[in-house]
Structure 1
Amino acid sequence: MSSTFYNPKDKIKIFNTVVDPVSEKESREILSGFLDEGGFHWIFTPNTEIVMALRDDAEKAAVMNEADLVVPDGIGLVIGSKMGGHPLEERVTGYDLSIYLLELAKEKNERIFFLGGEPNVAAEAKKRVEEKYGPIVAAEHHGYFKGAHRGYENSEEEAAVIRAINESGASILFVGLGFPKQEQFLLNNRDKLENIVVAIGNGGVLDVLAGKAKRAPDIFIRLHLEWFYRLLKNPSRIGRQMAIPKFLWTIARNKKAVTVVKENRGGSHES
């Protein structure tokens, strides 16, 4: 992390992905501190499926590990880290951090830009959020535009999106393009985002805020069975959900897949 106010703990590396061993409470404090500090900070929220994908792409993982805060958005990561002898504190979801950012925006008089989803999804999310939190959403744009994240380099459509974000005056950016497109968008354009202080790639959060999708019932969330609920609702996800048992089986066979990355003022090193 590049923040001056936060003294990072040693990080946990699972395969190629480095994760911050922070609680949800600590993550909230960090987000609030980022907004107070200024500058640009981006939040990466990998789940088990993403960590497995990055296991086979060390180069992409190294780029993702540059994020200012990486939280374990998947109970499989928490279980796997314990199996490997270097436990993460708890699951910290991108959804919950996104909701907290809505609360922070209201509290600190910040504005948010919604980017992503199908046409009209971000607009509906804006409407519903402002009914609850007030006028905290500066502007929105759907995710169906040509950009480098979709293989269109130097696209005028992407340039127009960047201008819209900058002209909105928003300091918080939700990017709901799905992994890895949302992260690629942020990495490609972070130097062009003039006012954004906190950016988070948060997948389908806008769909939930717009009422297009529903989060799992509380009982599934408390039991860490959101993945099972999504599978029940959409059995075609079975292939994707197999990443979880494959992940845990791989760690069970090789516990050295989980290591500690020591943090110090001179940089990071593994142990």
Structure 2
Amino acid sequence: MIDMLRARMATREGGRGALVTFLNPYSYRIARRHPSLFRRFDTIHYDGIVLAKLMMLAGVSVQRTSFDMTSLANSVLARAADEGRGVAFVGSEPGVPEQAAETLQAHFAGLPVVSVRHGFFDSDEQRAAHIAELVALAPAVVVVGMGVPLQERFLVDLVDAGWRGEGYTCGGFLHQTAKGGAQYYPAWMDRMNLRWLYRIYDEPKLIRRYTIDYSIFLALFAGDLAKYYWGKRSRV
């Protein structure tokens, strides 16, 4: 797992045909169960200050990067607006991505949103039909927020269907934008790296993720780190 993450360090924002996803302590556990899926991504960012700092133990020095307005979403969408590059949003519940897209278009003047759809499909056929629609529309940027690993699988299937563009997973970004506006996190909490605390306040159901699930992550990461260093020693 550590070797895969090192090979996909954040070396670029995106590019034609590039897929970008993000790991936090919660999604790290899921990625371990789907390594072949995550190897399809060109870049894996570290979403969360804890994981970014822990990766320093493996010799990876990177900053925390998320697809939200405190981080990568701002630059990706600003560039799309400036260059007139079509953007598609997929994810969250019915009505949510539409509200998020409206908010983002108000924030980024001229943002060309070419497709908006919620992330629930009644059948594989309906999902395949939307993928075919996106291939035909050919947006330059596709942002998908369905939760891990559904969002990663959607982007990989989109590329396999013939789409070429920049694909980003976004977790709860659409929900957060629809609910809290373009600036979801209070500025002072962002500066102090307390975004996780604000999310618990806003979504109390996440308390398990930040307690029990993160404790499990620490044990798994310690094991993966030990295997990584043992492998390095064996190769010497």
The TM-score range, normalised by the shorter chain, is: 0.7 to 0.9
Aligned residue for 1:205? 173
Q: Distance in 1 between matches of 2:119 and 2:64?
A: 27
Verify: 1:54 aligned to 2:24, yes or no: no
Q: Distance in 1 between matches of 2:38 and 2:220?
A: 22
1:143 aligned to which of 119, 136, 160 = 119
Q: 1:132 to 1:68 in 2, by over 3 A?
A: same
1:181 aligned to which of 150, 162, 173 = 150
Verify: 1:256 aligned to 2:229, yes or no: no
Verify: 1:170 aligned to 2:139, yes or no: yes
Q: Distance in 1 between matches of 2:201 and 2:175?
A: 19
Higher relative helix content: 2
What value does the CA root-mean-square deviation take over the aligned residues?
3.0
**CA deviation after TM superposition for structure 1 residue 232, in Å:** 3.1
**CA deviation after TM superposition for structure 1 residue 117, in Å:** 1.7
SS in 1 for 2:40: coil
Verify: 1:241 aligned to 2:200, yes or no: no
SS in 2 for 1:174: strand
**CA deviation after TM superposition for structure 1 residue 188, in Å:** 2.5
Q: 1:74 to 1:258 in 2, by over 3 A?
A: farther
Aligned residue for 1:104? 79
Aligned residue for 1:116? 91
SS in 2 for 1:66: coil
Letter in 2 for 1:192: A
Letter in 1 for 2:115: A
Aligned residue for 1:161? 130
**CA deviation after TM superposition for structure 1 residue 135, in Å:** 4.1
Q: 1:251 to 1:43 in 2, by over 3 A?
A: closer
Does the CA contact (< 8 Å) of 2:84 and 2:111 recur in 1? no
Does the CA contact (< 8 Å) of 1:15 and 1:51 recur in 2? no
Q: 1:231 to 1:210 in 2, by over 3 A?
A: closer
TM-score normalised over the length of structure 2: 0.82
**CA deviation after TM superposition for structure 1 residue 249, in Å:** 5.2
Verify: 1:78 aligned to 2:66, yes or no: no
Identity of aligned residues (%): 23
Higher relative strand content: 1
Q: 1:19 to 1:125 in 2, by over 3 A?
A: farther
Count of matched residue pairs: 229
TM-score normalised over the length of structure 1: 0.72
Q: 1:236 to 1:135 in 2, by over 3 A?
A: closer
Q: Distance in 2 between matches of 1:236 and 1:126?
A: 25
Does the CA contact (< 8 Å) of 1:173 and 1:200 recur in 2? yes
Letter in 1 for 2:2: I
Letter in 2 for 1:110: R
- Give 5+ residue unaligned stretches, structure 1: 1-12, 263-269
Does the CA contact (< 8 Å) of 1:251 and 1:257 recur in 2? no
Q: Distance in 2 between matches of 1:251 and 1:141?
A: 35
- Give 5+ residue unaligned stretches, structure 2: none
SS in 1 for 2:205: helix
